[in-house]
A and B are shown apart, each in its own frame.
Chain A
Amino acid sequence: MASKVKTLIKKDRLRFTKNKLSAGLILAAIAINALYFVSIYRSDVGSYYYNLTIGVSILYNLIFMLIAFLSSEGVKNYKIGYAYAAIVLGIVQIGRIFVLPSQAHAAQNTVVGKEAETVMLDDQFGYVAICLCLSAALLICAGVIGIIKTTTLRNYQAELDKKNEGNNQ
Protein backbone atom coordinates (compact mmCIF):
# COMPACT_ATOMS: atom_id res chain seq x y z
CA MET A 1 0.00 0.00 0.00
CA ALA A 2 2.74 2.41 1.05
CA SER A 3 4.78 1.63 -2.03
CA LYS A 4 1.70 2.20 -4.21
CA VAL A 5 1.25 5.62 -2.66
CA LYS A 6 4.92 6.35 -3.17
CA THR A 7 4.68 5.40 -6.82
CA LEU A 8 1.63 7.57 -7.23
CA ILE A 9 3.36 10.56 -5.62
CA LYS A 10 6.38 9.96 -7.84
CA LYS A 11 4.15 10.02 -10.90
CA ASP A 12 2.29 13.10 -9.69
CA ARG A 13 5.58 14.85 -9.06
CA LEU A 14 6.43 14.57 -12.75
CA ARG A 15 3.64 17.01 -13.50
CA PHE A 16 5.43 19.83 -11.72
CA THR A 17 9.12 18.95 -11.92
CA LYS A 18 11.38 18.96 -14.94
CA ASN A 19 13.45 16.07 -16.19
CA LYS A 20 16.67 17.58 -14.95
CA LEU A 21 18.43 14.22 -14.82
CA SER A 22 18.22 13.62 -18.57
CA ALA A 23 19.08 17.24 -19.30
CA GLY A 24 22.12 17.02 -17.03
CA LEU A 25 23.30 13.79 -18.64
CA ILE A 26 23.14 15.35 -22.11
CA LEU A 27 25.09 18.40 -20.98
CA ALA A 28 27.71 16.08 -19.50
CA ALA A 29 27.84 14.26 -22.86
CA ILE A 30 28.51 17.59 -24.60
CA ALA A 31 31.35 18.33 -22.16
CA ILE A 32 32.90 14.91 -22.71
CA ASN A 33 32.60 15.30 -26.48
CA ALA A 34 34.55 18.54 -26.08
CA LEU A 35 37.37 16.56 -24.49
CA TYR A 36 37.33 14.32 -27.56
CA PHE A 37 37.62 17.04 -30.17
CA VAL A 38 40.16 19.05 -28.23
CA SER A 39 42.34 15.95 -28.10
CA ILE A 40 42.04 15.42 -31.88
CA TYR A 41 42.47 19.05 -32.94
CA ARG A 42 45.61 19.68 -30.92
CA SER A 43 47.42 16.73 -32.58
CA ASP A 44 50.70 17.79 -34.16
CA VAL A 45 51.42 15.11 -36.75
CA GLY A 46 52.35 16.88 -39.95
CA SER A 47 49.67 17.46 -42.53
CA TYR A 48 47.64 14.26 -41.97
CA TYR A 49 44.57 16.03 -40.66
CA TYR A 50 44.67 18.85 -43.25
CA ASN A 51 41.90 17.48 -45.49
CA LEU A 52 38.14 17.58 -45.92
CA THR A 53 37.47 15.07 -43.13
CA ILE A 54 38.65 17.44 -40.43
CA GLY A 55 36.44 20.17 -41.84
CA VAL A 56 33.45 17.86 -41.77
CA SER A 57 34.43 16.78 -38.25
CA ILE A 58 34.50 20.38 -37.03
CA LEU A 59 31.15 21.07 -38.65
CA TYR A 60 29.66 17.92 -37.16
CA ASN A 61 30.93 18.86 -33.70
CA LEU A 62 29.19 22.22 -33.94
CA ILE A 63 25.94 20.61 -35.13
CA PHE A 64 26.26 17.92 -32.46
CA MET A 65 26.58 20.50 -29.70
CA LEU A 66 23.62 22.45 -31.01
CA ILE A 67 21.33 19.42 -31.34
CA ALA A 68 22.49 17.96 -28.04
CA PHE A 69 21.77 21.24 -26.28
CA LEU A 70 18.32 21.46 -27.86
CA SER A 71 17.71 17.86 -26.82
CA SER A 72 18.75 18.71 -23.30
CA GLU A 73 16.14 21.47 -23.16
CA GLY A 74 13.57 19.29 -24.90
CA VAL A 75 13.87 16.26 -22.63
CA LYS A 76 13.81 18.59 -19.64
CA ASN A 77 10.27 19.50 -20.69
CA TYR A 78 9.24 15.92 -21.44
CA LYS A 79 9.32 16.17 -25.26
CA ILE A 80 9.70 12.63 -26.46
CA GLY A 81 11.11 13.57 -29.89
CA TYR A 82 14.17 15.07 -28.27
CA ALA A 83 14.67 11.92 -26.22
CA TYR A 84 14.84 9.92 -29.45
CA ALA A 85 17.20 12.53 -30.88
CA ALA A 86 19.50 12.03 -27.89
CA ILE A 87 19.56 8.28 -28.50
CA VAL A 88 20.36 8.79 -32.18
CA LEU A 89 23.18 11.19 -31.27
CA GLY A 90 24.51 8.57 -28.85
CA ILE A 91 24.56 5.89 -31.52
CA VAL A 92 26.32 8.23 -33.92
CA GLN A 93 28.95 8.91 -31.26
CA ILE A 94 29.80 5.21 -31.24
CA GLY A 95 30.00 5.26 -35.04
CA ARG A 96 32.40 8.19 -34.90
CA ILE A 97 35.06 6.01 -33.28
CA PHE A 98 35.36 4.18 -36.59
CA VAL A 99 35.78 7.32 -38.69
CA LEU A 100 38.50 9.80 -37.74
CA PRO A 101 40.08 8.12 -34.69
CA SER A 102 40.24 4.64 -36.23
CA GLN A 103 41.60 5.96 -39.53
CA ALA A 104 44.26 8.02 -37.75
CA HIS A 105 45.09 5.09 -35.51
CA ALA A 106 45.68 2.90 -38.59
CA ALA A 107 47.54 5.50 -40.71
CA GLN A 108 51.30 5.65 -40.77
CA ASN A 109 52.95 8.85 -39.55
CA THR A 110 54.73 10.73 -42.36
CA VAL A 111 56.77 13.00 -40.09
CA VAL A 112 60.47 12.40 -40.59
CA GLY A 113 61.83 10.25 -37.76
CA LYS A 114 58.42 9.02 -36.71
CA GLU A 115 57.68 6.73 -39.63
CA ALA A 116 57.40 3.70 -37.35
CA GLU A 117 54.49 5.29 -35.41
CA THR A 118 50.86 5.69 -36.38
CA VAL A 119 49.25 9.14 -36.65
CA MET A 120 47.22 8.49 -33.54
CA LEU A 121 49.04 6.58 -30.85
CA ASP A 122 47.39 3.89 -28.76
CA ASP A 123 47.11 6.15 -25.72
CA GLN A 124 45.28 8.90 -27.60
CA PHE A 125 43.06 6.42 -29.40
CA GLY A 126 42.09 4.83 -26.10
CA TYR A 127 41.38 8.24 -24.63
CA VAL A 128 39.18 9.50 -27.50
CA ALA A 129 37.41 6.16 -27.77
CA ILE A 130 36.57 6.32 -24.07
CA CYS A 131 35.35 9.92 -24.48
CA LEU A 132 33.08 8.99 -27.37
CA CYS A 133 31.79 5.83 -25.65
CA LEU A 134 31.11 7.72 -22.44
CA SER A 135 29.27 10.54 -24.19
CA ALA A 136 27.32 7.95 -26.20
CA ALA A 137 26.35 6.11 -23.01
CA LEU A 138 25.23 9.36 -21.36
CA LEU A 139 23.16 10.36 -24.39
CA ILE A 140 21.49 6.97 -24.66
CA CYS A 141 20.79 6.88 -20.90
CA ALA A 142 19.34 10.38 -21.07
CA GLY A 143 17.16 9.39 -24.01
CA VAL A 144 15.90 6.20 -22.39
CA ILE A 145 15.16 7.96 -19.08
CA GLY A 146 13.43 10.71 -21.04
CA ILE A 147 11.25 8.21 -22.89
CA ILE A 148 10.32 6.35 -19.67
CA LYS A 149 9.49 9.53 -17.77
CA THR A 150 7.60 11.12 -20.64
CA THR A 151 5.54 7.98 -21.22
CA THR A 152 4.80 7.67 -17.51
CA LEU A 153 3.75 11.30 -17.36
CA ARG A 154 1.57 10.99 -20.47
CA ASN A 155 -0.18 7.89 -19.17
CA TYR A 156 -0.71 9.46 -15.76
CA GLN A 157 -2.03 12.66 -17.30
CA ALA A 158 -4.42 10.63 -19.47
CA GLU A 159 -5.58 8.78 -16.32
CA LEU A 160 -6.20 12.11 -14.57
CA ASP A 161 -8.04 13.53 -17.58
CA LYS A 162 -10.22 10.43 -17.68
CA LYS A 163 -10.97 10.79 -13.97
CA ASN A 164 -11.79 14.49 -14.37
CA GLU A 165 -14.08 13.72 -17.30
CA GLY A 166 -15.84 11.11 -15.15
CA ASN A 167 -16.21 13.62 -12.31
CA ASN A 168 -17.55 16.30 -14.63
CA GLN A 169 -20.16 13.94 -16.05
Chain B
Amino acid sequence: MSGLQLQHLEKIYDNNVQAVFNFNLDVKDGELIVLVGPSGCGKSTTLRMVAGLEDITKGKLIIDGNDVTQTPPKDRDIAMVFQNYALYGHMTVYENMAFSLMLRKESKNTIHQKVMAAAEILDLTSQLNKKPAQLSGGQRQRVAMGRAIVRTPKVFLFDEPLSNLDAKLRSSTRREILLLHQRLNATILYVTHDQTEALTLADRIVCMSMGHVQQIGTPLELYDDPSNLFVAGFIGLPPMNFFDVELRAGQAICKDFTVDLTPEEQKLLGWHEGKTVTMGVRPEHIVPGGTIPVDVISNENLGQNTLVNGMVGKHKITCKFREWCTYKYGDIVKVSFTKKHFFDRETTNSIR
Protein backbone atom coordinates (compact mmCIF):
# COMPACT_ATOMS: atom_id res chain seq x y z
CA MET B 1 0.00 0.00 0.00
CA SER B 2 1.11 3.55 -0.48
CA GLY B 3 0.32 7.22 -0.23
CA LEU B 4 -1.48 9.43 -2.66
CA GLN B 5 -1.07 13.14 -3.36
CA LEU B 6 -3.50 15.30 -5.27
CA GLN B 7 -1.84 18.62 -6.03
CA HIS B 8 -3.88 21.56 -7.36
CA LEU B 9 -6.15 19.22 -9.29
CA GLU B 10 -8.67 20.89 -11.58
CA LYS B 11 -11.20 19.56 -14.02
CA ILE B 12 -12.64 21.67 -16.81
CA TYR B 13 -14.90 19.92 -19.30
CA ASP B 14 -14.93 20.65 -23.03
CA ASN B 15 -18.01 22.86 -22.60
CA ASN B 16 -15.93 25.01 -20.18
CA VAL B 17 -17.82 23.82 -17.12
CA GLN B 18 -15.39 23.53 -14.24
CA ALA B 19 -16.22 20.58 -12.00
CA VAL B 20 -13.26 20.66 -9.62
CA PHE B 21 -11.29 23.68 -8.42
CA ASN B 22 -7.76 23.51 -6.99
CA PHE B 23 -8.11 20.23 -5.11
CA ASN B 24 -5.22 19.54 -2.73
CA LEU B 25 -5.00 16.42 -0.62
CA ASP B 26 -2.21 14.35 0.85
CA VAL B 27 -3.41 10.84 1.67
CA LYS B 28 -1.10 8.95 3.97
CA ASP B 29 -0.30 5.29 3.57
CA GLY B 30 -3.14 3.17 4.95
CA GLU B 31 -5.49 6.11 5.41
CA LEU B 32 -9.21 5.99 4.61
CA ILE B 33 -10.33 9.29 3.13
CA VAL B 34 -13.99 9.95 2.45
CA LEU B 35 -15.04 12.56 -0.11
CA VAL B 36 -18.46 13.76 0.88
CA GLY B 37 -20.82 16.34 -0.52
CA PRO B 38 -24.14 16.77 -2.28
CA SER B 39 -24.76 15.53 -5.81
CA GLY B 40 -22.79 17.46 -8.40
CA CYS B 41 -20.15 18.74 -6.00
CA GLY B 42 -17.29 17.12 -7.93
CA LYS B 43 -16.43 14.23 -5.63
CA SER B 44 -16.96 11.48 -8.19
CA THR B 45 -15.15 13.51 -10.82
CA THR B 46 -12.18 13.78 -8.47
CA LEU B 47 -12.25 10.03 -7.90
CA ARG B 48 -12.48 9.36 -11.60
CA MET B 49 -9.50 11.63 -12.18
CA VAL B 50 -7.54 9.56 -9.68
CA ALA B 51 -8.69 6.38 -11.42
CA GLY B 52 -7.71 7.81 -14.80
CA LEU B 53 -11.25 7.65 -16.15
CA GLU B 54 -11.27 11.46 -16.52
CA ASP B 55 -8.39 13.55 -17.82
CA ILE B 56 -6.81 15.92 -15.34
CA THR B 57 -7.03 19.45 -16.74
CA LYS B 58 -4.54 20.98 -14.32
CA GLY B 59 -2.50 19.75 -11.41
CA LYS B 60 -0.58 16.66 -10.49
CA LEU B 61 -1.50 13.23 -9.22
CA ILE B 62 1.18 11.32 -7.35
CA ILE B 63 0.80 7.70 -6.28
CA ASP B 64 3.54 6.12 -4.21
CA GLY B 65 5.90 8.98 -5.12
CA ASN B 66 5.40 8.61 -8.88
CA ASP B 67 3.69 11.24 -11.00
CA VAL B 68 0.86 9.34 -12.72
CA THR B 69 -1.04 12.36 -14.07
CA GLN B 70 -0.62 11.20 -17.67
CA THR B 71 -0.41 7.48 -16.93
CA PRO B 72 -3.17 5.30 -18.40
CA PRO B 73 -5.60 3.79 -15.85
CA LYS B 74 -4.31 0.23 -16.23
CA ASP B 75 -0.80 1.28 -15.25
CA ARG B 76 -1.78 3.24 -12.13
CA ASP B 77 -2.12 0.14 -9.97
CA ILE B 78 -5.42 1.15 -8.45
CA ALA B 79 -8.65 -0.78 -8.02
CA MET B 80 -12.08 0.78 -8.20
CA VAL B 81 -15.34 -0.48 -6.73
CA PHE B 82 -18.42 0.94 -8.43
CA GLN B 83 -21.90 1.66 -7.15
CA ASN B 84 -23.45 -0.76 -9.67
CA TYR B 85 -20.85 -3.49 -8.88
CA ALA B 86 -19.87 -3.88 -12.58
CA LEU B 87 -19.68 -7.67 -12.32
CA TYR B 88 -19.69 -10.00 -15.33
CA GLY B 89 -23.09 -11.69 -15.26
CA HIS B 90 -22.04 -14.77 -17.22
CA MET B 91 -19.11 -15.53 -14.92
CA THR B 92 -19.21 -17.15 -11.51
CA VAL B 93 -18.05 -15.28 -8.44
CA TYR B 94 -14.73 -17.14 -8.64
CA GLU B 95 -14.26 -16.21 -12.29
CA ASN B 96 -15.23 -12.60 -11.63
CA MET B 97 -12.62 -12.34 -8.90
CA ALA B 98 -9.99 -14.18 -10.94
CA PHE B 99 -10.57 -12.29 -14.17
CA SER B 100 -8.17 -9.39 -13.66
CA LEU B 101 -5.42 -11.80 -12.61
CA MET B 102 -6.06 -13.96 -15.65
CA LEU B 103 -5.60 -10.89 -17.83
CA ARG B 104 -2.28 -10.32 -16.10
CA LYS B 105 -1.41 -13.89 -17.07
CA GLU B 106 -0.63 -14.96 -13.53
CA SER B 107 -0.32 -18.68 -12.93
CA LYS B 108 -3.54 -20.58 -12.26
CA ASN B 109 -2.34 -21.70 -8.84
CA THR B 110 -1.41 -18.14 -7.80
CA ILE B 111 -4.79 -16.89 -8.99
CA HIS B 112 -6.52 -19.61 -7.02
CA GLN B 113 -4.62 -18.79 -3.83
CA LYS B 114 -5.38 -15.07 -4.15
CA VAL B 115 -9.05 -15.61 -4.91
CA MET B 116 -9.46 -18.04 -2.02
CA ALA B 117 -7.72 -15.65 0.38
CA ALA B 118 -9.96 -12.76 -0.69
CA ALA B 119 -13.06 -14.96 -0.50
CA GLU B 120 -12.08 -15.98 3.01
CA ILE B 121 -11.71 -12.32 4.07
CA LEU B 122 -15.07 -11.41 2.56
CA ASP B 123 -16.86 -14.58 3.69
CA LEU B 124 -17.63 -15.53 0.11
CA THR B 125 -16.13 -19.02 0.04
CA SER B 126 -19.51 -20.71 -0.11
CA GLN B 127 -20.68 -18.43 -2.93
CA LEU B 128 -17.77 -18.90 -5.33
CA ASN B 129 -19.65 -21.15 -7.76
CA LYS B 130 -22.66 -18.86 -7.98
CA LYS B 131 -23.36 -16.28 -10.64
CA PRO B 132 -23.91 -12.63 -9.61
CA ALA B 133 -27.65 -12.89 -10.34
CA GLN B 134 -27.96 -15.50 -7.58
CA LEU B 135 -26.46 -13.16 -4.96
CA SER B 136 -27.96 -10.43 -2.81
CA GLY B 137 -26.89 -6.80 -3.27
CA GLY B 138 -24.53 -6.96 -0.31
CA GLN B 139 -22.92 -10.13 -1.57
CA ARG B 140 -22.49 -8.65 -5.03
CA GLN B 141 -20.80 -5.64 -3.53
CA ARG B 142 -18.51 -7.97 -1.59
CA VAL B 143 -17.62 -9.71 -4.84
CA ALA B 144 -16.80 -6.32 -6.35
CA MET B 145 -14.57 -5.64 -3.35
CA GLY B 146 -13.02 -9.09 -3.68
CA ARG B 147 -12.18 -8.36 -7.27
CA ALA B 148 -10.35 -5.28 -6.09
CA ILE B 149 -8.59 -7.06 -3.21
CA VAL B 150 -7.08 -9.87 -5.30
CA ARG B 151 -5.12 -7.32 -7.29
CA THR B 152 -3.44 -5.94 -4.14
CA PRO B 153 -3.43 -2.45 -5.65
CA LYS B 154 -1.65 0.59 -4.22
CA VAL B 155 -4.91 2.46 -3.74
CA PHE B 156 -8.55 1.38 -3.48
CA LEU B 157 -11.21 3.69 -4.89
CA PHE B 158 -14.82 3.29 -3.80
CA ASP B 159 -17.49 5.20 -5.74
CA GLU B 160 -20.66 5.24 -3.60
CA PRO B 161 -20.47 1.46 -3.11
CA LEU B 162 -23.40 1.24 -0.71
CA SER B 163 -25.91 3.43 -2.53
CA ASN B 164 -27.73 0.47 -4.10
CA LEU B 165 -28.23 -1.35 -0.80
CA ASP B 166 -31.09 -1.09 1.65
CA ALA B 167 -30.52 0.57 5.02
CA LYS B 168 -29.85 -2.61 6.99
CA LEU B 169 -27.50 -4.08 4.43
CA ARG B 170 -25.76 -0.75 4.08
CA SER B 171 -24.98 -0.72 7.75
CA SER B 172 -23.56 -4.24 7.77
CA THR B 173 -21.58 -3.75 4.56
CA ARG B 174 -20.21 -0.49 5.98
CA ARG B 175 -18.93 -2.45 8.96
CA GLU B 176 -17.33 -4.94 6.60
CA ILE B 177 -15.56 -2.19 4.68
CA LEU B 178 -14.23 -0.86 7.94
CA LEU B 179 -12.99 -4.31 8.99
CA LEU B 180 -11.47 -4.77 5.57
CA HIS B 181 -9.62 -1.50 5.91
CA GLN B 182 -8.30 -2.49 9.30
CA ARG B 183 -7.30 -5.92 8.08
CA LEU B 184 -5.59 -4.84 4.86
CA ASN B 185 -4.38 -1.47 6.12
CA ALA B 186 -5.22 -0.26 2.64
CA THR B 187 -5.11 3.29 1.32
CA ILE B 188 -8.71 4.02 0.41
CA LEU B 189 -10.40 6.95 -1.30
CA TYR B 190 -14.12 6.63 -0.74
CA VAL B 191 -16.86 8.75 -2.29
CA THR B 192 -20.30 9.10 -0.77
CA HIS B 193 -23.08 11.61 -0.36
CA ASP B 194 -24.15 9.90 2.86
CA GLN B 195 -22.69 11.71 5.83
CA THR B 196 -23.31 8.72 8.13
CA GLU B 197 -20.94 6.67 5.98
CA ALA B 198 -18.46 9.50 6.00
CA LEU B 199 -18.54 9.96 9.76
CA THR B 200 -18.36 6.25 10.58
CA LEU B 201 -15.74 5.17 8.06
CA ALA B 202 -13.31 8.00 7.57
CA ASP B 203 -9.95 8.66 9.10
CA ARG B 204 -10.36 12.07 7.48
CA ILE B 205 -13.25 13.60 5.57
CA VAL B 206 -13.04 15.93 2.60
CA CYS B 207 -16.25 17.93 2.43
CA MET B 208 -16.93 19.37 -1.03
CA SER B 209 -19.41 21.77 -2.54
CA MET B 210 -19.68 23.15 -6.08
CA GLY B 211 -16.26 21.74 -6.95
CA HIS B 212 -14.49 23.40 -4.03
CA VAL B 213 -13.05 21.71 -0.99
CA GLN B 214 -14.87 23.19 2.01
CA GLN B 215 -13.01 21.47 4.82
CA ILE B 216 -10.62 18.58 5.36
CA GLY B 217 -10.47 17.05 8.81
CA THR B 218 -11.34 14.19 11.08
CA PRO B 219 -15.02 13.35 11.48
CA LEU B 220 -15.00 14.98 14.92
CA GLU B 221 -13.40 18.16 13.58
CA LEU B 222 -16.05 18.49 10.89
CA TYR B 223 -18.86 17.83 13.33
CA ASP B 224 -17.57 19.85 16.23
CA ASP B 225 -15.74 22.62 14.50
CA PRO B 226 -17.15 23.17 11.00
CA SER B 227 -15.18 25.72 9.02
CA ASN B 228 -18.18 27.33 7.36
CA LEU B 229 -21.94 27.39 7.06
CA PHE B 230 -21.98 24.72 4.32
CA VAL B 231 -20.07 22.16 6.36
CA ALA B 232 -22.11 22.98 9.46
CA GLY B 233 -25.33 22.45 7.56
CA PHE B 234 -24.19 19.35 5.67
CA ILE B 235 -22.59 17.36 8.45
CA GLY B 236 -24.95 16.21 11.17
CA LEU B 237 -28.40 14.69 11.00
CA PRO B 238 -30.84 16.37 11.44
CA PRO B 239 -28.97 19.40 10.10
CA MET B 240 -27.93 22.35 12.23
CA ASN B 241 -30.49 25.13 12.96
CA PHE B 242 -29.43 28.59 11.84
CA PHE B 243 -30.56 31.99 13.18
CA ASP B 244 -29.43 35.48 12.29
CA VAL B 245 -28.59 37.19 15.59
CA GLU B 246 -27.27 40.58 16.61
CA LEU B 247 -24.51 40.56 19.19
CA ARG B 248 -25.02 43.16 21.86
CA ALA B 249 -23.96 43.40 25.50
CA GLY B 250 -23.11 39.73 25.96
CA GLN B 251 -26.28 38.58 24.28
CA ALA B 252 -27.26 37.12 20.91
CA ILE B 253 -30.46 38.86 20.01
CA CYS B 254 -32.80 37.36 17.47
CA LYS B 255 -36.17 38.85 16.50
CA ASP B 256 -37.90 36.01 18.31
CA PHE B 257 -35.62 35.28 21.26
CA THR B 258 -32.50 36.31 23.10
CA VAL B 259 -29.76 34.05 24.42
CA ASP B 260 -26.97 34.89 26.82
CA LEU B 261 -23.44 34.26 25.59
CA THR B 262 -20.92 32.43 27.75
CA PRO B 263 -17.76 34.34 28.71
CA GLU B 264 -15.79 32.24 26.13
CA GLU B 265 -18.29 33.14 23.42
CA GLN B 266 -18.17 36.80 24.39
CA LYS B 267 -14.38 36.73 24.10
CA LEU B 268 -14.56 34.96 20.75
CA LEU B 269 -17.16 37.36 19.37
CA GLY B 270 -15.64 40.54 20.79
CA TRP B 271 -14.73 41.85 17.31
CA HIS B 272 -18.27 41.39 16.13
CA GLU B 273 -19.99 43.39 18.87
CA GLY B 274 -22.99 45.19 17.38
CA LYS B 275 -22.90 43.14 14.18
CA THR B 276 -25.30 40.54 12.90
CA VAL B 277 -23.87 37.03 12.58
CA THR B 278 -25.35 33.61 11.89
CA MET B 279 -25.75 31.42 14.94
CA GLY B 280 -25.90 27.68 14.45
CA VAL B 281 -27.26 25.20 16.97
CA ARG B 282 -27.27 21.45 16.43
CA PRO B 283 -30.60 19.74 17.27
CA GLU B 284 -28.83 17.58 19.86
CA HIS B 285 -27.55 20.73 21.58
CA ILE B 286 -31.08 21.88 22.34
CA VAL B 287 -32.51 20.70 25.65
CA PRO B 288 -35.92 21.13 27.23
CA GLY B 289 -36.10 23.78 29.93
CA GLY B 290 -35.13 27.37 29.30
CA THR B 291 -36.54 30.57 27.94
CA ILE B 292 -36.84 29.99 24.21
CA PRO B 293 -40.41 29.04 23.27
CA VAL B 294 -40.82 26.41 20.53
CA ASP B 295 -44.22 26.09 18.94
CA VAL B 296 -44.43 22.33 18.25
CA ILE B 297 -45.40 21.19 14.75
CA SER B 298 -44.47 17.51 14.93
CA ASN B 299 -43.13 15.00 17.42
CA GLU B 300 -41.16 12.06 15.97
CA ASN B 301 -40.27 9.34 18.45
CA LEU B 302 -37.26 7.35 17.28
CA GLY B 303 -37.03 5.13 20.33
CA GLN B 304 -33.73 6.31 21.71
CA ASN B 305 -34.60 9.97 21.18
CA THR B 306 -37.31 12.27 19.94
CA LEU B 307 -37.17 14.76 17.08
CA VAL B 308 -39.36 17.76 17.76
CA ASN B 309 -39.94 20.07 14.80
CA GLY B 310 -41.35 23.47 15.54
CA MET B 311 -41.19 27.21 15.05
CA VAL B 312 -39.46 29.86 17.11
CA GLY B 313 -41.32 32.91 15.86
CA LYS B 314 -40.67 32.79 12.11
CA HIS B 315 -37.69 30.43 12.40
CA LYS B 316 -37.99 26.69 11.82
CA ILE B 317 -36.25 24.67 14.48
CA THR B 318 -35.53 20.96 14.99
CA CYS B 319 -34.74 19.68 18.46
CA LYS B 320 -33.38 16.24 19.30
CA PHE B 321 -34.37 15.34 22.84
CA ARG B 322 -32.92 12.30 24.52
CA GLU B 323 -36.09 11.30 26.27
CA TRP B 324 -39.34 9.89 24.86
CA CYS B 325 -41.63 12.86 24.34
CA THR B 326 -45.32 13.09 23.56
CA TYR B 327 -45.72 16.70 22.42
CA LYS B 328 -48.66 17.52 20.23
CA TYR B 329 -49.19 20.07 17.48
CA GLY B 330 -49.61 23.47 19.07
CA ASP B 331 -47.79 22.69 22.33
CA ILE B 332 -45.24 25.23 23.49
CA VAL B 333 -41.91 23.81 24.71
CA LYS B 334 -39.37 26.08 26.37
CA VAL B 335 -35.82 25.13 25.40
CA SER B 336 -32.24 26.31 25.83
CA PHE B 337 -29.02 25.84 23.81
CA THR B 338 -26.06 23.97 25.31
CA LYS B 339 -23.63 24.71 22.48
CA LYS B 340 -23.62 27.34 19.76
CA HIS B 341 -21.59 27.94 16.59
CA PHE B 342 -21.15 31.38 15.03
CA PHE B 343 -20.54 32.23 11.39
CA ASP B 344 -19.72 35.46 9.59
CA ARG B 345 -22.74 36.40 7.51
CA GLU B 346 -20.71 37.77 4.59
CA THR B 347 -17.96 35.17 4.26
CA THR B 348 -20.02 32.32 5.80
CA ASN B 349 -16.82 31.26 7.56
CA SER B 350 -16.86 30.09 11.13
CA ILE B 351 -15.90 32.66 13.73
CA ARG B 352 -13.14 30.95 15.69
A interface residues with partner B (beta carbon < 8 Å): 6, 9-10, 12-13, 15-17
Contacts and interface: CB of A to CB of B under 8 A. Distances in A.
Contacts of B109: 6, 9-10, 13
8 contacts: A9-B109, A13-B112, A16-B92, A16-B94, A16-B112, A16-B115, A16-B129, A17-B94
Contacts of B108: 13
Contacts of A17: 94-95
Nearest to B128: A16
Nearest to A5: B109
A10 B112 CA distance: 9
Interface residues of B, number: 11
Contact of A9 (B92, B112, B128, B129): B112
B110 to A, nearest CB: 9
Nearest to B111: A13
B191 interface: no
Contacts of B112: 9, 12-13, 16
A10 B107 CA distance: 11
Contacts of A13: 108-109, 112
B116 interface: yes
Interface string B282-310: 00000000000000000000000000000
A9 B117 CA distance: 12
B113 interface: yes
Nearest to B115: A16
A12 B129 CA distance: 13
Contacts of A6: 109
Contacts of A15: 128-129
Nearest to B97: A16
Max count, chain A CB within 10 A of own CB: residue among B108, B109, B116: B109
B87 to A, nearest CB: 16
B107 to A, nearest CB: 10
B326 to A, nearest CB: 52
Contacts of A9: 109, 112-113
Nearest to A17: B94
Contacts of A10: 109
A15 B94 CA distance: 10
A6 to B, nearest CB: 6
Max count, chain B CB within 10 A of own CB: residue among A12, A13, A16, A17: A16
A10 B110 CA distance: 10
A16 B116 CA distance: 10
Contacts of B94: 16-17
